[in-house]
A and B are shown apart, each in its own frame.
Chain A
């Protein structure tokens, strides 16, 4: 809808602005956001920052421990771990981000349908329950195994595995918002059901979803590592956090740096995302505060 009148002198705090100003004062959110931003920048500029080609192998430099040239050491093909990590973060974070987005879209569509159009609630949510009966990682493995190992397929697999829970969260908050008086007021004005859903119900129901998606993002990074580790992740030689660890598995005794540093990278990414999510939850959903 159009902003009816814009007068800078009386410009006021929108709810979004209000939330943003509270987030700035939330320590957990700021630390998490700082970590995530740092990782994102490193990833974005991997091409400039990486000292070596992540795919260039050399027999003479294999299994070097960390030193002045190879800051984080090399793997059994002589590839620079730092360079592989910087480029690997691209794949891992892309998978995490796209999984979160895909889950967000699918979860919102399914959850809003179930919560808003009541006759569909039972069939849709029982289907989600059936999916939830499988452990998420097992479901992801099954989907990835059926579709074959590739980055898009890993994203699809993870999105399928994380959507049911997300749909539940959206449905629950849609159920709360749809009973509020401003929704009835919109109907009384003659608004169509779709207008009620998209202009009144969803904008007020998405707080918990945003929190959930930071968690999905972190989970997807971990799950990608797990899928790579058992061989259904993104195919080699392109690096991802999980595939670097998987390849370092056989040399863990003599070259622990191959597995330790990507493990650390996963930890920092997940920690950053979880702190970010905690901060968001505190601000967006005060009832959940512990």
Chain B
């Protein structure tokens, strides 16, 4: 199988360092993302899941170079984003956009909806006033907002409507890659469904590629073609959505899936709940980073860091025992 790659992260690392001490400065670094490798294929929706604090949002921002990686490179349509000058990066932003989680914080309260969307065109010097006006109205139609919204301010809209504005702004420049960073997590369930449907419709109409970051596994299962599972700054498993949800290979993925609530108490479920907390990103353990919480841990796991290796069914997993097939079989009734 061959796929056209839109964006590829190679060994991307982000260390957030904080200075401690007033006179004897020492640097303490939190490795939010640690040697991450990830490819997003053209036209797909790649779900990115993981616990709070595992580096999902940081990954999204690193892929767009909204924050500077400490190490590694990001190839966007074959060009290394980390090598671009500020000006080149700015013009390449036309092709990659982001939709934010918080519909209340992501719109400037002092700009009308029309101005917020038109800013995209003004920044890139596209079109004259009249054509910008026309495009803004087209964008409002596209996200199913009334055209009268154009002169209104964000505080006059509900969360779901604001999220539509955020989507219109992100899509105004006709990007081909969009990061949806918890784009529906702050919305009511009924509104979530509307926004997800809108995102899927727009993907078909505009041939978009999504990186869909969420901690909501049901939403990810619904919208994604492939899913990447992240743990402590690194991908531990990537698989097609059906394979991942029916045959999770990594013990962490299995644990995550077992945490999805069932609709009926008698429904079979696989029980091995996660214990303990995510280790601190300030002190990432040696060996496999999941070893401290893994029910199937062996001695080698505590010493050797497992690589992200392909499995027979075209997925990738980073686990010694999954790689040599010694992991107890995953079944719903164990």
Contacts and interface: CB of A to CB of B under 8 A. Distances in A.
Interface of A: 1-7, 10-16, 18, 180-182, 184-192, 195, 199-200, 203-204
Given A1-B122, A2-B132, A181 B102 contact: yes
Nearest to A177: B108
Contacts of A1: 111, 115, 118-119, 122
B118 A189 contact: no
A7 B149 CA distance: 11
Nearest to A182: B108
B152 A189 contact: no
Contacts of A186: 108, 119
A187 B123 contact: no
B114 A190 contact: no
Across the A-B interface, give the 3 residue pairs with the lowest CB-CB distance, nearest first.
A4-B114, A190-B93, A181-B106
Contacts of B106: 181-182, 185
Contact of A4 (B115, B123, B173): B115
Given A1-B122, A186-B108, A186-B119, 8 more contacts: A10-B148, A18-B155, A180-B105, A181-B106, A187-B66, A188-B98, A191-B123, A192-B90
Contact of B151 (A6, A192, A199): A6
Interface in B262-304: none
Given A184-B66, A185-B169, A192-B90, A204 B151 contact: no
Nearest to A17: B153
B209 to A, nearest CB: 16
Contact of B119 (A180, A181, A189): A189
B320 interface: no
B110 A5 contact: no
A192 B136 CA distance: 21
Contacts of B170: 188
* Interface band, chain B: 35 or more
Interface centre among B89, B148, B151 (most CB of A within 10 A): B151
A4 B153 contact: no
Contacts of B64: 188
A191 B114 CA distance: 17
Nearest to B97: A188
A10 B102 CA distance: 26
Nearest to B64: A188
Interface in B102-147: 102, 105-112, 114-115, 117-120, 122-124, 129, 132-133, 136-137
B150 interface: yes
B41 interface: no
B94 interface: yes
Interface string B144-183: 0000101111011000000000100110010000000000
A4 B151 contact: yes
Given A181-B100, A181-B105, A190 B110 contact: no
B253 to A, nearest CB: 30
B91 interface: yes
A189 B100 contact: no
A186 B105 CA distance: 12
A5 B100 contact: no
A195 B125 CA distance: 14
A4 B150 contact: yes
Nearest to A14: B153
B16 to A, nearest CB: 14
Contact of B110 (A10, A13, A15, A191): A15
5 contacts: A1-B119, A3-B151, A5-B150, A184-B66, A185-B106
A185 B98 contact: yes
A84 B94 CA distance: 65
Contact of A190 (B111, B118, B124, B155): B124
